[in-house]
Chains A and B, each alone.
Chain A
């Protein structure tokens, strides 16, 4: 049961790797595979929601010997989020015509990596799934094959390979200090580890995930890559792949290094603030759509980091909620940003309002959650910062939207299929904003699966 979504994607990926993905039937087959993986993840999610976390030792080994798969609500939320974004990008590309035969298979492999990574309970296994999704991302980043994409691909590969190496070093440092690879055992063992080695390994892991996430001092690769890649790839990178960074920070930070996370809280909040301000100012000064969106992505992850830095049940809930909303927003904006026509324009407007935090769209939920945290923790600076960041993002999103409407009038519209896809994604975002209770409930349960959040 636990392994089903991973198995479906794995098998589907292999089958599609030998088929020609530019043909319509094969491309739609990949959509069907991804959709069935989502359905099986949902079924798993319902079981986990009712009965609590599930685990499985792979290969018939006893617990403690074999690799463990462990699924709690946090995993389910992140798996569904990544798979949903991948599905939107895949359908968009299939409707629009797939340009490379390997594209659908690679998207499935990426889904496999992202799903496996959130389902695993073993640190080294985490690294393996992480690399599966990274290698798929390397392939995707060169999709399109013009000089721009190649250059973006090289920047992406070089920087992210360094990130992966850092993560590997961090894992082996954890193994060396605790003697375990199973996350539960590491967590039990971590308080006994001396302070310095623990901080060192926590920092290495933090740097590794920050590179994936494009946080302020590690953001330098992000604009070049997001502007260079094709729209659907940019949507995948910012909406699905960046979730690795957030999930990693939450899982490793709040679950394995809670003590170090608390010690580092001021640093996290400072970095988050720098990210927000830097991202917003850079986004204000740019003109090209993708560039503005790339800098906006740098700014938005700052909020997540601040929520993590504050911690506690409310902080983690806000961080997870913000990740879900931010990923869907970014996917919508990157997909609709390259389309023309009034439907795509409306979808883009919804995404832009969502980022700016204007009520009917879902983005305001995240801002509101952070606001509540800021008030509950009595941090006036934080409230002011959220307000400032929101105002700046409103300005740059509005500028962007105005520039776009000027363009739309001058040109004919894109194919209807692609426009319908982005409109459906926009409706999801709008729907979440109008009826937020299910998502809020889910996210709260996800935060409660972290032991840190259970302590009052």
Chain B
């Protein structure tokens, strides 16, 4: 809850105070010397979640999308970092919600994706409400109080941790796959589906959002990824079995 309270304080200051990072993504990748490991889980630097919580998140996503050759799974693609960066979207300005366009720069043209876009007034209300919760702020409570995504993850990861401690006397992040998988299967299906959606996005979405590291998600399913400005030729469309 510490993160939510900090975000709340910034919001009450009218959004005038924002933490601006030099990079759109808070972490700098596994080669960063500040990288931590908790159990088997790699914790990138400057995560939104505290390292222990991030490890629980990584353990959850791994249970949802495990490595299964040729699929790399959520751990190798760093899908947890995708969700972590969404939760901390407003730690940078513009927030990490909508990547730029039109090009990623991977196939020619400039790298426009990494220039995230400003939000409109109502988009900012929407995304702050979704991530931080309504926090009693009238403009966010036009249909009543809203629990933020950060709080939802905090509560559910805490519940998974409690279940792990109660049943196995170990932290959720330190359980073997089968035991984590069983606990997730017995958890609130609404949250599990929400987390699964985020794990999918972090595995197969564009890497600019923090997941799909080294395009492993795309490579694992033989998917070509974004195509602009090249697109597909008539030959490639007529012969889809060819690369």
The reply to whether chain A is a binding partner of chain B is: no
Interface residues of A (CB under 8 A from B): none
